[in-house]
Amino acid sequence: MTDSLKPPALLEQRLGLPIDPVLLEQALTHRSFSYENGHCPTNERLEFLGDSVLGVVVTSTLYHAHPDLPEGQLAKFRSHVVSAKALAAVGRELELGDFLRLGKGEEATGGRDKSSILADAMEAVLGAVYLDHDLDTVGELIHRLFDKLIEASAGLGAGLDWKTSLQELTAEHSLGVPAYLVDEEGPEHDKSFTARVHVGEQDYPAGQGRSKKIAEQIAAEHAYRSIRKEFGSAKAEPEETAKPKPGAREPKDGKDVRGLKDAVDAAAPVKDAEGA
């Protein structure tokens, strides 16, 4: 072990459970280290497995937390939780970079704080936990690490994308594609934007903001609410998806994901092979 690395036992302490030392070492081994040290096993296979495990748990949780949302909206929420940005953020909270085995070149270029490396390593750690324990155990770990992201996912960009929601609503009622007109005023350093949206022959209240994007989103919200009031819709609007239904959170015992275990097992390498 490189002198500057923190001991894996400290990471186990932060995760709250022991992990097979061979699997954990592999989960923390970047390919750059392998290239410089006799091509020892890297974390790429464990990363592949961890990605699948994370997807299963997050998908099941969102499915049960939002029983009325359509597939497309659930997919948007999931994409935020399992994104490289989110994974890297969780890795930084754990100070995962301090445990990584990197090649000298990667080390010299700040690899310990690269989002892509942290995200991959985080998935690899989840894969190692799954192999050493089971789906229930890794599910509990994922909830501890990711529940805040899961709960907040409905309040992120996809959940507040009024332009997308408006387009879906107008398509649902065959009203045509929304068209936006944006005016700007003020000096270059202090511009304000006014956006108007037209759907068919109908105009809707304008939206104003400090950027074109914000103005269009506000205008889209005005149009969305007007159209929904007139026609109705079975689909939830963005703000209504911002909070999971009370008591809808997936049980921590992982029973809701147990039925998907076979799918994960099919992608799982044999533990002995991983440690080879």
- Known binding residues for Mg(2+) are 47, 120, 123
Contact predicate 199/224, CB 8 Å: no
Neighbour tally for 265: CB within 10 Å: 10
User: How far apart are alpha carbons 229 and 41 in whole angstroms?
Assistant: 58
Binding site listing: 47, 120, 123
Residue (of 119, 132, 168, 184) closest to 23 by Cα position: 132
**What stretch of H or E contains 9?**
helix 8-15
**Chain centroid to CA 217: how far?**
22
Provide the Cα torsion 50, 52, 57, 62; round to 10°: 130
36 is catalytic: no
Provide the Cα torsion 104, 11, 138, 250; round to 10°: -120
Buried b (16+ CB within 10 A) or exposed e, 36-58: eeeeebbbbbbbbbbbbbbbbbb
20 is catalytic: no
Q: Take residue 14 and report the two structure tokens written for it.
A: 């932060």
User: How far apart are alpha carbons 104 and 145 in whole angstroms?
Assistant: 30
Q: Which of 25, 51, 237, 274 is catalytic?
A: 51
Q: Which of 106, 123, 237, 274 is catalytic?
A: 123
User: How far apart are alpha carbons 55 and 81 in whole angstroms?
Assistant: 9
Q: Take residue 99 and report the two structure tokens written for it.
A: 């445990």
DSSP-H helix ranges across 28-176: 31-36, 44-65, 71-81, 84-93, 104-108, 115-132, 135-152, 162-172
Catalytic residues: 51, 123
